[in-house]
């Protein structure tokens, strides 16, 4: 098999449950990890430095942008968020599958740079359900919630840019769907290194040469 891990971009409106989904995958599926982003947003109650995010101020974020430390970054609802490049590439090169939980602007930037990545859109069952989830989270001011809902509809309309569409109505079902996507992507023919078939004695070198020339 190819040594590189699968880059799985999980995008969709804020409050749709992407973080919980990705956390579930990392606990259920060996060989997966979660990229920890940098953000200029303040920590919410219970969020820990270096676990949910690396929390930085505007000047620190700008320095990281200048150093080209991000594979993508975007301003989302008035705060900056960026995916650190080095940790991502190191994990992929070790053969670990990396989940990137990012907004639609970030997903678009990754689409321009990583041809082999898998793009998964997570949608709420309805905008009313999304509103309830955002209100229940009770951590963002009401004007932020309205802004997030307004943008959600535009993001959903762009579903065709993604490979998979998961409707997160029931968390366990959505987790199983994302898990199935990752497991199927791992065994895709285009990720198979033909040399490994020869090395494992599954195909004679001479036969492989005939098939590939």
# of chain residues touching ligand 5GP (CB under 6 A): 15
User: Whose CB is nearest to ligand 5GP?
Assistant: 106
Q: How far is the CB of 193 from ligand 5GP (least distance, A)?
A: 30
Planar angle of CA 193, 162, 64, nearest 5 degrees = 80
CB nearer ligand 5GP, residue 82 or residue 124: 82
First-to-last C-alpha distance (Å) of the chain: 20
CB nearer ligand 5GP, residue 6 or residue 22: 22
Pairing mode of beta strands 79-84, 37-39: antiparallel
Segment 33-52, which members bind ligand 5GP (CB under 6 A)? 37, 41
Alpha carbons within 13 angstroms on the beta-carbon side of residue 50 total 0
The answer to the question of residue 18 lying near ligand 5GP (CB under 6 A) is: yes
The SS3 assignment for 94 reads coil
Q: How far is the CB of 38 from ligand 5GP (least distance, A)?
A: 7
Distance CA 135, CA 139 (A): 8
Segment 58-117, which members bind ligand 5GP (CB under 6 A)? 72, 74, 76, 81-83, 101-103, 105-106
186: Cβ–Cβ under 8 A, 6 or more apart, which residues? 1, 6, 97
Binding site for ligand 5GP (CB under 6 A): 14, 18, 37, 41, 72, 74, 76, 81-83, 101-103, 105-106
């Amino acid at each position: 098999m190819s040594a590189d891990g699968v880059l799985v971009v999980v995008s969709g409106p804020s409050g749709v449950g992407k973080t919980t989904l990705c956390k579930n995958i990392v606990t259920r599926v060996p060989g997966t990890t979660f990229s920890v982003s940098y953000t200029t947003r303040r920590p919410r109650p219970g969020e820990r430095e270096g676990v949910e995010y690396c929390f930085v101020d505007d000047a620190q974020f700008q320095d990281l942008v200048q150093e080209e430390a991000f594979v993508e970054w975007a301003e989302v609802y008035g705060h900056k968020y960026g995916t650190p490049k080095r940790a991502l590439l190191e994990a992929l090169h070790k053969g670990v599958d990396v989940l990137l939980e990012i907004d639609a602007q970030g997903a678009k930037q990754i689409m321009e740079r990583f041809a082999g990545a898998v793009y998964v859109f997570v949608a709420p069952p309805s905008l009313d359900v999304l509103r309830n989830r955002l209100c229940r989270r009770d951590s963002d001011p009401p004007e932020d919630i309205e802004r997030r809902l307004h943008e959600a509809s535009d993001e959903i309309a762009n579903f065709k840019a993604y490979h998979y569409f998961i409707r997160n109505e029931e968390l366990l079902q959505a987790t199983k769907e994302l898990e199935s996507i990752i497991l199927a992507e791992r065994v895709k023919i285009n990720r198979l290194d033909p040399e490994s078939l020869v090395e494992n004695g599954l195909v004679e070198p001479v036969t492989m040469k005939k098939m590939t020339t």
